[in-house]
Structure 1
Amino acid sequence: MSPEAAELESITTPDVVVALAGGDTITPVWKNQVGGLTFRLDNGRGTTRYVKWVAAENPHLDLAAEAERLSWAQRWIQVPHVLDFGSDDDGAWLVTSAVAGRSAVDPRWAADPKTAATAIGHGLRILHDALPVDDCPFDWSVDARLARARASLTDDAGLADRFSLDRYPGVTDPEARVASPPPVDRMVVCHGDACAPNTMLHDDGTFAAHVDLDNLGTADRWADLTVGAWSTEWNYGPGYEHVVYEAYGVEPDPERIAYYRLLWDLT
């Protein structure tokens, strides 16, 4: 058994998830890096739902924000539909419909990273072209991201105090560096967490849907592009970043890539 599978098996299902499931079969499917849990609920008759749950004391995940963003975005793109949202003293939960496809980090696609990287690029282009910037009530700009990151600090340390400069030779003051972003190339509605696991693929390898949109908002498209391409290195190994850019239809922009990598790490 892999460490990831063992970790999922050890998860204690929150009481509210048991109640929401009714008689459905509950399967833990994801534990993210900041403690959020996702469960699949199967009723045995072909209907599947997903429940996200986060503990009340967790400052990193805002399921209310995700519910609001999904409800807005579903008018234009393929995303999970919100079925229920709520909270109690223990935590918050979000119930959504299933979407077609498998995650780009599913073993099927981890074994075919070029196809997966192509779908990530295509998927981002579809999202950026479809969502209306002028109608978007959500902000993922540099200023907004820095403000949220600073608000999440629980002590007197600055953002840079929880940050390693090892990957950024020549950068001595990261907060000062991100305070001077490059000019916006194209303002779009960004996914906000365009890492590979959040792109779903059909069995033929084409883009299917996006998930995990709790940070969706307006920003320069390079805020998404940089992270989507960079995440192929984390999930598949080196050599596939260019595939994302090619599939999206853009030439790599070294200045913006360097900037938005730094901003991602800092925030």
Structure 2
Amino acid sequence: MSIPTEPVAAPDVVRRLAGADRVVPVWANELGGLTFRLDPVSDAVPVSEANGTRRARYVKWRLLSAAHPGEADLADEAARLAWAASYTPVPRVLEHGRDDDSEWLVTEAIDARTAVDPRWIAAPQTAVRAIGVALRALHDALPVADCPFTWSVEERVARVLPEKADPGTLARLADAPDLVGPVVCHGDACAPNTLLHDDGTWAAHVDLGRLGVADPWADLSVAALSTVWNYGPGYEHLVYESYGIDPDPDRIAYYRLLWDAT
């Protein structure tokens, strides 16, 4: 996943949703899925119930033909966002739609920056500590007993991609560690999915398409690893410190292997 560096043509449905508003491509994944920001330049954007001001919107769009078994369905993401919104800051769902070829999800923008915004790339210690604090707050806030969604080892292993299902990997994945927790996990706790206020405190989480009950290390291991991808080496320990937990090498290794395989 990356910020587009070349011009991106907005699909027809995105242009329709935008109306007169400015369409800005902000994210692209390796399967052709795209995310656009619709910046308000007219009355096309609804008034926010929170403060009476117009907010930008985000549109996630993907081709149905490009989906694979490990990718979150946008209808599932809409359901998870709607559930989580009662307990923790997440984007408000405005619309989910689907046609013969594609599907899309429209959410209201949150007044905050992703943890991989250039401002926070330049201040990695602040960003990484906020990621750990935010993940702990998410795990503490979401009620396991009331969560209708799961992200278990068993269901994830069942979706291992064929090209990654070599015998050695499968044997290691079959030897799962005992479940710790559990908590309601984010499901994609990489650095870009934490939003920060300008003072460096966490603001919200986005991209909750895999949210579900699981071992907290399923999130922690990937959150720490993603700091290497986004900020360089030397910051992983800050995720664990700010979360308030000591590293568990065995669980870290297992859940990173599972992440890579699925």
TM-score (norm 2): 0.90
- Alpha-carbon spacing, 1:51–1:122, altered in 2? closer, same or farther (3 Å): same
User: Structure 2 regions of 5+ residues with no counterpart?
Assistant: 43-53
- Alpha-carbon spacing, 1:198–1:4, altered in 2? closer, same or farther (3 Å): closer
The residue type paired with residue 103 of structure 1 is T
1:30 aligns with 2:27: yes
Aligned residues: 247
Report if aligned partners of 2:72, 2:210 keep a CA contact under 8 Å in 1.
no
The residue type paired with residue 123 of structure 1 is A
TM-score (norm 1): 0.89
Task: Give the counterpart of 1:197 among 188, 192, 200.
Answer: 192
Please say which of residues 25-34 and 41-50 is displaced more in the overlay.
Answer: 41-50
Aligned to 2:222: 227
The residue type paired with residue 247 of structure 1 is S
Task: Give the counterpart of 2:261 among 254, 263, 266.
Answer: 266
Aligned to 2:106: 95
1:159 aligns with 2:164: yes
Aligned to 1:120: 131
Please say which of residues 29-38 and 124-133 is displaced more in the overlay.
Answer: 29-38
Aligned to 2:90: 79
Shift of 1:158: 5.5
Aligned to 1:144: 155
Aligned to 1:218: 213
CA separation in 1, counterparts of 2:88 and 2:3? 31
Shift of 1:198: 0.4
Aligned to 1:246: 241
Q: For 1:179-209, what per-residue CA distance to the aligned partner results, in whole angstroms no more than 9, with x for missing partners?
A: 1211122100000000001010000000110
The residue type paired with residue 237 of structure 1 is G
Higher RCO structure, 1 or 2 (CA under 8 Å, sep 6+): 1
- Alpha-carbon spacing, 1:136–1:61, altered in 2? closer, same or farther (3 Å): closer
Aligned to 1:66: 77
The residue type paired with residue 62 of structure 2 is V
Shift of 1:242: 0.4
The residue type paired with residue 123 of structure 2 is D
CA separation in 1, counterparts of 2:253 and 2:219? 13
Quote the RMSD (CA, aligned, Å): 1.5
What percentage of aligned pairs have identical amino acids?
Answer: 61
Task: Give the counterpart of 2:60 among 52, 64, 86.
Answer: 52
CA separation in 2, counterparts of 1:4 and 1:53? 15
Shift of 1:58: 2.0
Aligned to 1:167: none
Q: For 1:123-164, what per-residue CA distance to the aligned partner results, in whole angstroms no more than 9, with x for missing partners?
A: 1001000000011111101001122x24xx5xxx46325xxx
Runs of 4+ in 1 over 3 A off after TM superposition: none
CA separation in 1, counterparts of 2:31 and 2:125? 29
Shift of 1:5: 4.5
CA separation in 2, counterparts of 1:4 and 1:71? 26
SS at 2:105 equivalent: strand
1:176 aligns with 2:171: yes
Shift of 1:6: 2.8
CA separation in 1, counterparts of 2:29 and 2:79? 21
The residue type paired with residue 159 of structure 1 is K
